[in-house]
Amino acid sequence: MTSPLLPTFARAELSFEKGEGPWLYGRDGERYLDFGAGIAVNALGHAHPHLVQALTEQASKIWHSSNLFQIPEGERLAQRLVDSTFADFVFFANSGAEANEAAIKMARRYHYVNGNPERFHIVTFEGAFHGRTLGTIAAGGQAKYLEGFGPKVEGFDQVPVEDLEALKAMIGPETAALMIEPIQGEGGIRTVSNAFLRELRALCDSQGLLLIFDEIQTGVGRTGKLFAYEWSGVTPDIMTVAKGIGGGFPLGACLATAEAGKGLTLGTHGTTFGGNPLAMAVGNAVLDVILEPGFLESVERKGLLLKQRLAELKDRHPGIIAEVRGQGLIMGLRTVVPNTNFVSAARDQKLIVIGAGDNVVRLLPPLIITEADLAEAINRLDAACTAIEAGQPSAAQRGAAQ
Ligand SMILES: *Cc1c(COP(=O)(O)O)cnc(C)c1O
């Protein structure tokens, strides 16, 4: 099939007509259980009534006015984020990569206004993913995303996660900040230890560096806390958020302390669309639900249940699943078989899951998932494992062979 879309994505032969909660209705007439949530975006599932109401109500009022004017919905969302985190200020953008660009520029400007313009290097970690702009591919440091795009943007140095000696050796007079995902998402649901995050904080404090957490995938309730950093007791100076915060509406945010953000003064950064009233209405509606008493506790409880069931699944299928990773409702299965085969075998069972680095299959159900639907997902994963064990090629593999 030829398509007028640039062929940058390996798209499955499947599209969806509508969604409801954790369910997706395919144009193939099948109903799918959605454990991908559009890559951790549909935090409240599909067509959540409160989000639909917020979006449609706002749509009949005003969509966009630009940042040349006050946007009260944005003031409110920013205030709520500030009240719930370490941060004093918020900058809204439209995507994760843009939120990270803001964070990178902020860290550089901080040292610039402090009289240290030479401090513009940011240390990032192997396996990281920070987006696909020229700056964020340099930050992520993955050769496959950098190849062919000209010289890598200067000022990003990379070390292995959990390697304190390598990190100390990398930090120099030009270092501005350390940037890390508390759990690497695209990299394969690799959890960074609390001990290492504490070491990062201590290093930043002793060397005058800023600590940047990329919580684009882990934030907004995914791990059972509003933000994953809360588990560690370590607070960053700057944090980026996107994916779940918009519940499916494009929205990113860069949060910062007043001190860390002090370099981004009038006119130093901007956006046309960022923080527009539609996005702000939906962001507020997402927080309405996630901040309801008991909601995050329910995510934590369901996460523990899922982890337990996945551990049992691994014991039943040691030839398929090598390891269970993650926390809350961001879980990974490192598979023995190619993860792409597992993803298509799951799809044959009408379960949507997503591949990640390190041969991992990601499970990212919407946070509103019920325990009954978690059990249903386990049944489908079980059936997928059994089909692979029986040597049954998936529909996708049969299609590819034709
Ligand atoms: C998805 C993601 C990004 C990039 O977000 P986009 O909205 O695709 O630009 C950055 N960092 C992390 C950790 C992500 O998961």
Instruction: For the beta carbon of residue 160, count every other beta carbon within 10 angstroms.
Output: 10
Is 304 a member of any domain? yes
340-367 burial, b for 16+ CB within 10 Å, e for fewer? Answer: bbbbbbbbbbbbbbbbbbbbbbbbbbbb
Predicted pLDDT at 271: 98
Predicted pLDDT at 399: 80
Predicted pLDDT at 402: 57
Same domain? 384 vs 335 = yes
CA 295, CA 277: separation in Å to the nearest integer? 26
Do residues 286 and 249 lie in contact, with contact meaning Cβ atoms separated by under 8 Å?
no
Is 379 a member of any domain? yes
- Residues belonging to the chain: 402
Is 2 a member of any domain? no
Same domain? 30 vs 83 = no
Same domain? 120 vs 265 = yes
Q: Ligand 1 pocket: which of 9, 134, 217 to mutate (most atoms <8 Å of CB)?
A: 217
CA 311, CA 305: separation in Å to the nearest integer? 10
Predicted pLDDT at 2: 85
Pocket flag, ligand 1, residue 185 (CB < 6 Å): yes
Using the mean position of ligand 1's atoms as its centre, give its distance from the Cα of residue 311 in Å. 28
Boundary-marking domain end, from 230, 255, 290: 290
Predicted pLDDT at 352: 98
Predicted pLDDT at 398: 84
Look up the CATH number of the domain holding residue 356: 3.90.1150.10
The continuous run of DSSP H or E covering 106 comes out as: helix 96-113
Predicted pLDDT at 1: 60
Same domain? 28 vs 84 = no
The continuous run of DSSP H or E covering 92 comes out as: strand 89-93
The residue type found at 139 is A
In DSSP terms, 175 is beta-bridged to 121
Same domain? 30 vs 179 = no
Look up the CATH number of the domain holding residue 277: 3.40.640.10
pLDDT tens for 216-263 read 999 999 999 999 999 999 999 999 999 999 999 999 999 999 999 999
Same domain? 78 vs 225 = yes
Q: State both tokens at 250.
A: 């494009």
Q: Would you call 217 helix, strand, or coil by DSSP?
A: coil
Number of compact structural domains in the chain: 2
Is 5 a member of any domain? no
Do residues 40 and 217 lie in contact, with contact meaning Cβ atoms separated by under 8 Å?
yes
Backbone phi, psi, residue 102, to 5°? -60, -40
**Cα-atom radius of gyration of the chain, to the nearest Å?**
21
Same domain? 234 vs 353 = no
SS3 content of the chain, % helix, strand, coil (to 5): 40, 20, 40
Boundary-marking domain end, from 261, 290, 319: 290
Pocket flag, ligand 1, residue 34 (CB < 6 Å): no
The residue type found at 32 is Y
Atom of ligand 1 nearest to the CA of 136: 10
Residue ranges, the chain, pLDDT below 50: none
Query: What is the distance in angstroms between the CA of the first residue and the CA of the last residue of the chain?
Result: 14
Which of 384, 387, 339, 393 lies closest to 361 in space, CA to CA?
Answer: 339
Is 42 a member of any domain? no
Do residues 329 and 222 lie in contact, with contact meaning Cβ atoms separated by under 8 Å?
yes
Do residues 382 and 313 lie in contact, with contact meaning Cβ atoms separated by under 8 Å?
yes
Atom of ligand 1 nearest to the CA of 250: 7
104-242-175 Cα angle (round to 5): 20
In which domain, by residue range, is 328 found? 16-34+293-401
- The set of residues, in sequence order, having a beta carbon less than 8 Å from that of 80 and lying 6+ positions away, is 284, 287, 291
Predicted pLDDT at 124: 98
CA 219, CA 325: separation in Å to the nearest integer? 17
- The set of residues, in sequence order, having a beta carbon less than 8 Å from that of 362 and lying 6+ positions away, is 36, 185, 189, 330, 331, 332, 353, 354, 355, 356
Task: Report which DSSP code applies to 100.
Answer: H
Same domain? 219 vs 308 = no
Pocket flag, ligand 1, residue 216 (CB < 6 Å): yes
Q: Would you call 222 helix, strand, or coil by DSSP?
A: coil
Predicted pLDDT at 401: 67
394-402 contacts at long range (C-beta below 8 A, 24 or more positions apart)? 394/341, 394/344, 394/345, 394/347, 394/348, 395/344, 395/347, 395/348, 396/12, 396/13, 396/344, 396/347, 397/341, 397/344, 399/13
Same domain? 187 vs 222 = yes
Sheet holding 321-327, edge to edge: 321-327, 330-335, 360-363, 354-356
Same domain? 237 vs 330 = no
Is 39 a member of any domain? no
Q: Would you call 366 helix, strand, or coil by DSSP?
A: coil
In DSSP terms, 241 is beta-bridged to 253
Helices (H), 231-370: 277-290, 295-316, 339-348
Do residues 44 and 368 lie in contact, with contact meaning Cβ atoms separated by under 8 Å?
yes
Is 311 a member of any domain? yes
Q: Ligand 1 pocket: which of 9, 92, 186, 218 to mutate (most atoms <8 Å of CB)?
A: 186
Using the mean position of ligand 1's atoms as its centre, give its distance from the Cα of residue 129 in Å. 7
Boundary-marking domain end, from 228, 261, 290: 290
What is the dihedral sign for C-alpha 81, 87, 90, 95?
A: negative
Q: Would you call 160 helix, strand, or coil by DSSP?
A: coil
Same domain? 130 vs 207 = yes
Same domain? 275 vs 327 = no
Taking CA atoms only, the protein residue closest to ligand 1 atom 10 is: 130
Using the mean position of ligand 1's atoms as its centre, give its distance from the Cα of residue 219 in Å. 11
The residue type found at 205 is D
Is 269 a member of any domain? yes
Q: Would you call 360 helix, strand, or coil by DSSP?
A: strand
Pocket flag, ligand 1, residue 101 (CB < 6 Å): no
